[in-house]
Each structure stands twice: as structure tokens, then as C-alpha cells.
């Protein structure tokens, strides 16, 4: 074996199309879990802010447990826990769910979505609380209901505040999907391992994966920056005169 | 007729309103004066149900509500008939001046966007800010923002307009334009409850003046009575002191 055969740089790039065939799986997992976590996270944030009894305590416990345990462990707990739970239901109710028919991606989705929810709930809560209370009182004083105030006044401002953090959280989630192989899901990283298993070029494959995740991250960062710009209050007004104050 | 009966509000051990009674006739412009911390703001906030009193009844026209037990629906009904102008104007940051005025019309009054726009433009003209309708609050001066807030309140056609020190957070040179707007509104016949420390303005705009202290209404009379012939020493001292320190820096 010669030194130049140690590292096949061409292979790093030739692997990429083969891995990218599984980009949709990665993105489905990440986008799906993200959407779920935004809705569920908002719900948890509201429960905590409104200090709803019992639910609020459960929410605190939930966030503490999820944030205090590794995502890998959570994936395994889901992967082994859900089938056990289904079997329990079968025995208890005499039903016949086929435990083996549940696709692995469901387990991965559940674990990632729940994990992401716990983190996003805190981001969302902080952003909701950052909205100036005077505006909220003014909206109530006009006769709006709580949900009208939330939707029309609080959320538009809170989303702008939360966007950078939620963006980071989403990037973390995409990288987190690389652990979905634990639930027997073939996404990009799993596909990479399969390729490497065939040709034993592990280093090249992981280099390919690194490049792919890095590029995706850069693209998402760009999109977030664009969204931020779009949401910000424009610096200067173009339409109608600035002059002509009557007073 | 608008009536407040036996309004009581405390924060912990601090009794802020100790059974306030007040009857307001349509078209009256009532100024509330009194030392700091005597519950003037709290009175206005209880009437708008931004604060929940322990006791008290509110009547606005045919609407009668026990303020201590108001349901969500009651609260919204009260707020539809009253409008509040805040010390710090509290405009919606992410909406333009026009959108600020349109918001209540669309969401609460359920008007179409077109109708809301027409009314909002009319109201902004009325406060002299039509040209500024597409500006965001942060690109307006404090005085302009407060005039937008007044337009936003008036657009809702309230039976009672509540103003809590509408000029005290403004730079002195901006006070005049806001007082001018309030005077104009008063002359249009709106029923108003105004908390203010601008005594010369109060003399000019109010049809009735109320002096509050320690959660009680101490005196209630015409501006002439309160300012020139106060019954109690407390009121005389207060008026003299505040007129001495608050020499107006604006001219209307
Ligand atoms: N949310 C609150 N929590 C606790 N105490 C409060 C609250 N709001 C007002 N207070 C207290 O109630 C009392 C009356 O306050 P209020 O703001 O009604 O007075 P004010 O007459 O408007 O005074 P100022 O002229 O300074 O505006 C004060 O002692 C104040 O500290
Ligand atoms: Mg006050």
C-alpha cells in the first residue's frame, strides 16, 4: 500500500450524491419535529406563563428531565418504550396492535420532537415575556380577548425575538437526526455508514457527511438571516412624505 | 350616565382606593388631581378593568357590572365602551401609525379593512398626523406617538375616554401639541376622565375637578371652586405648591 492510497479525496465527493438521496429523510424528520415542537413548545410556554395548576408543574418536570438526559438515551427509551407500551395496551384491552409494524422513523420523530419541544418551550417563553407589557395592556384596553392579543400583538414581536435562537435550535435538530440510526432509520448518516460498510472507507464517508451537514447549516443560517431582515421594522420609510407635520 | 360605586382596591396591605363614588354626566371633562401615590391611576385602571378591585360597581349607560366579579365578557364590554390613553402611549411597535388605529376597528369592531382604514385615516387627520400614517412608532416623536394613541382611542368611539397623565412622560417642548389635541377632543364633546398635573391646562379644559388623596375623593367641584375657593387646606396647599413648581413651559 502506498501513502497516496491512504486517503481518497475523490471518494469524499463521489459519495455525496449517494448520501444526498437520503436528504429528504433527514429533512422530513427535522422539519416535522420542528413544527411539532413549535406548537407543543408554545403550549408549554403558555401553561408555564399562565401558571396553570398541576399542568405547570408537569411542564417544569418535563423540561427538566428532557434537558437533563442525552438525546441518544431518549431515542433508545422511545425505541424500546413505545413497543412495550403498545404490548401493555394489547394485554390490558385485548387489542392487537402489531408492534413490529411501527416504522422506525416514527420512534425517531417522537423522540426528536419531544426533545426539541422542551428546548423550544424555554426559548418561546423567554421571547413572549420580552414583549413590552404596555402594548399588551393597550390591546386589552381596546377590548381584545387574550388570544387576539396573543396572535396580533404578542406573537409577531416574540417571533422576531425568538428567531435567532429557534434557528440555532433547528440547526441542532438537523444534526440530531444523525442519531436516528438507533431507531433503524436510514437517513444520511446511516446511509454513509452503509456505504462505508461496503468499501471500508470510513474516513472518506465521514468527511462527505461533514461537508453535507456543514453546507446545510450555512444555508439555514442564511435563510434565518433573511427572515430576520424581513421581520425587522424597516429603517426608513419610502412611501408618502416625511415632511409636513401639521403641529 | 356613568357611575362608579363604592370602589375598593388594595395591593396587599396598601389600601389604594377606599370606597370611591363618582357619577359622570355625558360630556363632562373631569380632571383628577392629587399627590403622587393616592390612587389616581388605579382608579382609571379599575374602571377599564385592567386592575381587579375587591369591590365596586360600574355603570356605563345600560351596562352594569360588578367589577370584582366581572366575567371575561363583562370585561370586554367595559373596554369596548371605554378607551384609555396611557402615560407611555403604548403604541404597538410593529404596526404603523395607521395600523395602530385600525387594529381595534378590525379585531374588536369587526370592520372590514377598507372601512377601518377610512376611519383610521380620518382620526389621524383629526390629530394632524395623516402625513405620518405609514411611520412606525419608533420613527415618531413622543408627542406624535401620544397623538396616535389618542386617535387610536377615539376611533373606537368610546362612551368614556380615560387619560392617565398623557403628557408627563414627554419632553417639555412636546407637551403643547398633545394638550392642544386633548383640548380639541374635549371641545368635540367627548366624556373624559383626565389625570393631570398640568394645572393651567386643567383650569382650561376641565368642566369639573376632583381632588384625590389616600384613596378618597376629598373635593369635587368646578375648576373655579377647586382652584380659587378650595374648602380644605390640603387642596389649597397642593394647588399652590404644584402651580409654583409646574410653571407651564408651553403656550396654547
Ligand atoms: N401593581 C401594583 N402592585 C402593587 N402596588 C401598586 C401597584 N400599582 C400601584 N400600586 C400602589 O398603589 C398606590 C397608588 O398608585 P397609583 O399609581 O394609583 O397612584 P397615582 O395617584 O396614580 O400616583 P402618581 O401621581 O405618582 O401617578 C401606590 O402606593 C402604588 O405603589
Ligand atoms: Mg399615576
Got the DSSP string for A132-154? Answer: -HHHHHHHHHHT--HHHHIIIII
In a domain, B62, yes or no: yes
> Taking CB atoms and an 8 Å cutoff, what residues of chain B touch A144?
104, 107-108
In this structure, the residue with its CA closest to atom 10 of ligand 1 is B11
Chain B nearest CA to A18, separation (Å): 46
pLDDT at A246: 40
In a domain, A246, yes or no: no
pLDDT higher than 60, residue B161: yes
pLDDT at A241: 46
Best probe residue, ligand 1, of B14, B20, B195, B212 (max atoms within 8 Å of C-beta): B14
pLDDT higher than 60, residue A244: no
pLDDT higher than 70, residue A242: no
In a domain, B25, yes or no: no
Which cell is B107 given? 379585531
Determine contact, residues B213/B34, Cβ cutoff 8 Å. yes
For the stretch A68-100, pLDDT in tens is 999 999 999 999 999 999 889 889 988 887 888
Average pLDDT in chain A: 92
A95 CB-contact burial (10 Å; exposed 0-12 / middle 13-18 / buried 19+): exposed
Residues A171 and A90 in one domain: yes
In a domain, B249, yes or no: no
Determine contact, residues B188/B166, Cβ cutoff 8 Å. no
In a domain, B18, yes or no: no
**Angle B14-B79-B86 (CA atoms, 0-180°, nearest 5)?**
60
Longest CA–CA span in chain A (Å) reads 87
Residues A125 and A198 in one domain: no
Determine contact, residues A57/A44, Cβ cutoff 8 Å. no
pTM, full prediction: 0.88
Q: Which has the closest alpha carbon to A32: A242, A185, A246?
A: A185
Residues A64 and A178 in one domain: yes
Share of residues in chain A with pLDDT > 90 (%): 81
Banded model confidence at residue B106, pLDDT cuts 50, 70, 90: very high
Share of residues in chain A with pLDDT > 70 (%): 95
Residues A108 and A160 in one domain: yes
**Which has the minimum average pLDDT: A119-128, A144-153, B239-248?**
B239-248
Q: Do A141 and B72 touch (CB under 8 A)?
A: no
For the stretch B111-156, pLDDT in tens is 999 999 999 999 999 999 999 999 999 999 999 999 999 999 999 9
Banded model confidence at residue B251, pLDDT cuts 50, 70, 90: low
Q: Which residues surround ligand 2, an ion (CB under 5 A)?
A: B 41
pLDDT at B18: 95
Which cell is B177 given? 401639541
Query: Closest chain B residue to A238 measured between Cα atoms?
Result: B134
Number of domains forming the structure of chain B = 1
Helix intervals (H) in B169-222: 172-187, 199-205
Contact map slice: B 213-232 vs A, CB within 8 A: none
- Best of A139, A141, A145, A154 to disrupt the B interface (most B CBs within 10 Å) is A141
CATH (domain of B113): 3.40.50.300
Phi, psi of A50 (to 5 degrees): -85, 0
Query: Closest chain B residue to A243 measured between Cα atoms?
Result: B131
CATH (domain of A78): 1.10.3720.10
- Name the residue among B82, B128, B136 with its Cβ closest to that of A246: B128
Contact of B184 with chain A, judged by CB distance below 8 Å, is answered with no
In a domain, B252, yes or no: no
Instruction: List, in sequence order, every residue forming a beta bridge with B64; answer none if it has no partner.
Output: B59
In this structure, chain A runs to a length of: 247
Instruction: List, in sequence order, every residue forming a beta bridge with B161; answer none if it has no partner.
Output: B83, B192
Separation CA A148–CA A155 (nearest Å): 10
Q: Which has the closest alpha carbon to A6: A215, A207, A209?
A: A207
**Angle A63-A66-A70 (CA atoms, 0-180°, nearest 5)?**
155
Contact of B164 with chain A, judged by CB distance below 8 Å, is answered with no
In a domain, A155, yes or no: yes
Banded model confidence at residue B217, pLDDT cuts 50, 70, 90: very high
Angle between helices B113-126 and B97-107 (to 10 degrees): 130
For the stretch B5-54, pLDDT in tens is 999 999 999 999 999 999 999 999 999 999 999 999 999 999 999 999 99
In this structure, the residue with its CA closest to atom 2 of ligand 1 is B11
Phi, psi of A97 (to 5 degrees): -65, 135
Where in the sequence is the domain holding A77, given as residue range(s)? 27-132+143-184
Determine contact, residues B164/B113, Cβ cutoff 8 Å. no
Residues A124 and A56 in one domain: yes
Number of domains forming the structure of chain A = 2
pLDDT at A215: 98
Residues A91 and A165 in one domain: yes
Determine contact, residues B201/B170, Cβ cutoff 8 Å. no
In a domain, B14, yes or no: no
Banded model confidence at residue A102, pLDDT cuts 50, 70, 90: confident
Where in the sequence is the domain holding B237, given as residue range(s)? 2-7+30-41+48-243
For the stretch B56-104, pLDDT in tens is 999 999 999 999 999 999 999 999 999 999 999 999 999 999 999 999 9
For the stretch A26-78, pLDDT in tens is 999 999 999 999 999 999 999 999 999 999 999 999 999 999 999 999 999 99
Q: Do B128 and A234 touch (CB under 8 A)?
A: no
In a domain, A154, yes or no: yes
Which cell is A7 given? 486517503
Best probe residue, ligand 1, of B15, B16, B43, B217 (max atoms within 8 Å of C-beta): B16
Residues A88 and A195 in one domain: no
Residues A106 and A228 in one domain: no
pLDDT higher than 50, residue A243: no
Banded model confidence at residue A239, pLDDT cuts 50, 70, 90: low
What average pLDDT does range B213-237 have in this prediction?
93
In a domain, A124, yes or no: yes
Average pLDDT in chain B: 94
> Taking CB atoms and an 8 Å cutoff, what residues of chain B touch A156?
94
> Taking CB atoms and an 8 Å cutoff, what residues of chain A touch B177?
247
pLDDT higher than 60, residue B246: yes
Amino acid at each position: 500500500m502506498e501513502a497516496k492510497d491512504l486517503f481518497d479525496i475523490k471518494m469524499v465527493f463521489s459519495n455525496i450524491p449517494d448520501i444526498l438521496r437520503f436528504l429528504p429523510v433527514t429533512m422530513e424528520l427535522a422539519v416535522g419535529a420542528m413544527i411539532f415542537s413549535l406548537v407543543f413548545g408554545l403550549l408549554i410556554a403558555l401553561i408555564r406563563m399562565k401558571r396553570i395548576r398541576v399542568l405547570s408543574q408537569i411542564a417544569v418536570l418535563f423540561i427538566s428531565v428532557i434537558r437533563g438526559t442525552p438525546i441518544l438515551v431518549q431515542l433508545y427509551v422511545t425505541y424500546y418504550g413505545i413497543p412495550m407500551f403498545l404490548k401493555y395496551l394489547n394485554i390490558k384491552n385485548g387489542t392487537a396492535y402489531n408492534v413490529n409494524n411501527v416504522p422506525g422513523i416514527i420512534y425517531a420523530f417522537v423522540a426528536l420532537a419531544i426533545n426539541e419541544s422542551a428546548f423550544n418551550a424555554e426559548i418561546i417563553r423567554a421571547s413572549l415575556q420580552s414583549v413590552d407589557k404596555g402594548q399588551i395592556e393597550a390591546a386589552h384596553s381596546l377590548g381584545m380577548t387574550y388570544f387576539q392579543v396573543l396572535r396580533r400583538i404578542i406573537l409577531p414581536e416574540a417571533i422576531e425575538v425568538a428567531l435567532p435562537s429557534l434557528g440555532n435550535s433547528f440547526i441542532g435538530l438537523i444534526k440530531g437526526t444523525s442519531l436516528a440510526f438507533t431507531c433503524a432509520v436510514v437517513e444520511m448518516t446511516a446511509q454513509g455508514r452503509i456505504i462505508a460498510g461496503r468499501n471500508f472507507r470510513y474516513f472518506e464517508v465521514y468527511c462527505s457527511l461533514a461537508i453535507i451537514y456543514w453546507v446545510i447549516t450555512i444555508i439555514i443560517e442564511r435563510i434565518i438571516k433573511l427572515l430576520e431582515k424581513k421581520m425587522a421594522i424597516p429603517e426608513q420609510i419610502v412611501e408618502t412624505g416625511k415632511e409636513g407635520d401639521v403641529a | 350616565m356613568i357611575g362608579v360605586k363604592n370602589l375598593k382596591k388594595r395591593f396587599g396591605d396598601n389600601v389604594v382606593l377606599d370606597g370611591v363614588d363618582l357619577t359622570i354626566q355625558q360630556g363632562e371633562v373631569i380632571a383628577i388631581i392629587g399627590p403622587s401615590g393616592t390612587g389616581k391611576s388605579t382608579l382609571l385602571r379599575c374602571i377599564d378593568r385592567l386592575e381587579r378591585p375587591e369591590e365596586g360597581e360600574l355603570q356605563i349607560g345600560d351596562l352594569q357590572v360588578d367589577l370584582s366579579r366581572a366575567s371575561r365578557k363583562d370585561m370586554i364590554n367595559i373596554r369596548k365602551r371605554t378607551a384609555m390613553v396611557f402615560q407611555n402611549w403604548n403604541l404597538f411597535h410593529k404596526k404603523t401609525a395607521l395600523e395602530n388605529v385600525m387594529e381595534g376597528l378590525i379585531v374588536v369592531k369587526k370592520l372590514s379593512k377598507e372601512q377601518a382604514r377610512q376611519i383610521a385615516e380620518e382620526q389621524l387627520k383629526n390629530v394632524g398626523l395623516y402625513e405620518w400614517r405609514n411611520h412606525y412608532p419608533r420613527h415618531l416623536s413622543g408627542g406624535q406617538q401620544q397623538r396616535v394613541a389618542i386617535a387610536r382611542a377615539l376611533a373606537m368611539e368610546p362612551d368614556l375616554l380615560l387619560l392617565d397623565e398623557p403628557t408627563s412622560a414627554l419632553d417639555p417642548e412636546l407637551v403643547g401639541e398633545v394638550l392642544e389635541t386633548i383640548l380639541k377632543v374635549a371641545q368635540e364633546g367627548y366624556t373624559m376622565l383626565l389625570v393631570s398635573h398640568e394645572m393651567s391646562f386643567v383650569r382650561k379644559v376641565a368642566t369639573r375637578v376632583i381632588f384625590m388623596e389616600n384613596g378618597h375623593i376629598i373635593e369635587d367641584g368646578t375648576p373655579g371652586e377647586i382652584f380659587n375657593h378650595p374648602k380644605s387646606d390640603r387642596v389649597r396647599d397642593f394647588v399652590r405648591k404644584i402651580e409654583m413648581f409646574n410653571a407651564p413651559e408651553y403656550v396654547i
